[in-house]
């Protein structure tokens, strides 16, 4: 039997809505193109999600699938759900048929469910990647249709699950923090040889972290610690001026497009515990204090558990975080260089930069199998 011609592999990727779904999807697409430059890659996404901008920017065709949230209560949306789902499945089915897809790869989110159902009806192999330690509804459904289920975390409970890690964007996958430190300091106007705290809470920021660190800002600067604080779009914090004795600065920005530089300039991160955040910080060897989001199903606590148990970070309850806690816990940690070095080494040892390639292995295996 001849080996399949992978130079003409045809793949449909389905996922979107948030960065947590879109970034791993695009990282997988890039890894597939590195492996198979002639691959035909199409993406199913929503008109409202981050993918509506990022997917076309990366040069991949986007097929918009109607957003169909699962109804949580018996109301008018529940009555409209069956018809809306049928239309979404039909849109996904056309994309699969028009692209003559050999495999459908789902990353969860609103578009994944119709993609899985359409692929199953068409007899097209399915590969699933679950980002979080606690799987979402779409991937719990999709895992019933395939034995090719990839997870970020070993603790994720899905049938046939194989841990591959989280596909990382290229600038993070290849980041050398030490080599980029000079450029990072120049980008943000920060000093060399000064302990640096990076604070961020995702694109929308985290109000609890914002208030706590800003409230302790003067004490951090007085101790010679400089702060790079990404507050989130539309959020501002009161910023102290440079300390007159130490010269340390507090830089607050709503966001940055260069998280690679932010990681390179930092000695410690204070952040939430989304799967992408946890995996990126571990991969680049940046120790962190993780403050899981206190709402939802507790997935952020589970996301951070493995790297914390490995010694690469600390896990703190949201309710404990205030200015006094920053002064009493975070500041002493920033002043303990040897401990930070041990934590950084533990994070890097636990981190994983090759997840996208392992996921591509599963995709190519599925594409080369029998339809």
Average pLDDT, the chain: 92
Confidence of residue 16 (pLDDT cuts 50, 70, 90): confident
Residue range 167-220, pLDDT digits in tens: 999 999 999 999 999 999 999 999 998 999 999 997 666 899 999 999 999 999
Which 3-state string (H, E, C) describes 137-193? HHHHHHCCCCCCEEECCCCCCCCCEEECCCCCCHHHHCCCHHHHHHHHHHHHCCCCC
Of residues 326 and 368, the one with the higher pLDDT is 326
Q: Is the pLDDT of residue 51 over 60?
A: yes
pLDDT of residue 79: 65
pLDDT of residue 2: 42
- Phi and psi at 363, nearest 5°, equal -65, -45
User: What's the CA gap between 105 and 119, in Å, rounded?
Assistant: 10
pLDDT of residue 371: 38
pLDDT of residue 233: 83
Percent of residues, the chain, with pLDDT higher than 70: 93
User: What's the CA gap between 163 and 156, in Å, rounded?
Assistant: 8
What would the mean pLDDT of 59-87 be, rounded to a whole number?
79
pLDDT of residue 370: 41
User: What's the CA gap between 341 and 336, in Å, rounded?
Assistant: 9
Contact 47, 64 (CB under 8 A): yes
Output the pTM of the full model: 0.91
pLDDT of residue 166: 97
DSSP characters for 206-267? -HHHHHHHHHTHHHHHHTT-EEEEE--TT-----PPPPTTT---EEEES--S-HHHHHHH-S
């Amino acid at each position: 039997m001849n080996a399949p011609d992978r130079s003409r592999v045809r793949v449909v990727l389905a996922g979107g809505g948030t960065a947590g779904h879109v970034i791993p999807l695009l990282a997988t697409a890039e890894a597939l193109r590195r492996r198979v430059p002639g691959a035909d890659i199409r993406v199913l996404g929503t008109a409202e999600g981050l993918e509506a901008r990022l997917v076309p920017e990366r040069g991949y065709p986007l097929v918009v699938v109607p957003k169909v949230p699962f109804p949580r209560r018996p109301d008018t949306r529940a009555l409209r759900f069956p018809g809306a789902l049928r239309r979404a499945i039909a849109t996904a089915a056309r994309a699969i048929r028009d692209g003559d897809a050999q495999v459908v790869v789902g990353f969860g989110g609103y578009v994944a469910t119709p993609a899985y159902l359409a692929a199953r009806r068409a007899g097209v192999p399915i590969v699933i990647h679950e980002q979080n330690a606690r799987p979402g509804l779409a991937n719990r459904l999709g895992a019933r249709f395939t034995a090719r289920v990839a997870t970020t975390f070993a603790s994720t409970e899905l049938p046939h699950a194989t841990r591959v890690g989280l596909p990382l964007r290229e600038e993070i996958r290849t980041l050398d923090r030490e080599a980029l430190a000079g450029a990072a300091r120049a980008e943000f106007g920060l000093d060399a040889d000064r302990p640096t705290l990076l604070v961020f809470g995702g694109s929308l920021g985290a109000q609890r972290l914002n208030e706590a660190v800003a409230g302790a800002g003067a004490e951090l600067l007085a101790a010679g610690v400089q702060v790079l604080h990404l507050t989130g779009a539309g959020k501002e914090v009161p910023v102290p001026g440079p300390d007159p004795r130490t010269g340390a600065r507090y830089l607050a920005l709503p966001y940055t497009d260069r998280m690679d530089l932010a990681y390179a300039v930092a000695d410690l991160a204070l952040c939430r515990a989304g799967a992408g955040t946890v995996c990126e910080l571990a991969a680049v060897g940046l120790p962190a204090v993780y403050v899981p989001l206190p709402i939802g199903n507790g997935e952020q606590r589970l996301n951070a558990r493995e790297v914390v148990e490995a010694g690469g970070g600390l896990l703190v309850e949201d309710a404990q975080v205030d200015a006094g806690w920053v002064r009493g816990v975070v500041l002493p940690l920033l002043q303990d260089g040897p401990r930070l070095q041990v934590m950084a080494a533990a994070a890097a040892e636990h981190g994983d930069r090759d997840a996208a390639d392992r996921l591509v292995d599963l995709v190519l295996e599925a594409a080369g199998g029998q339809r």
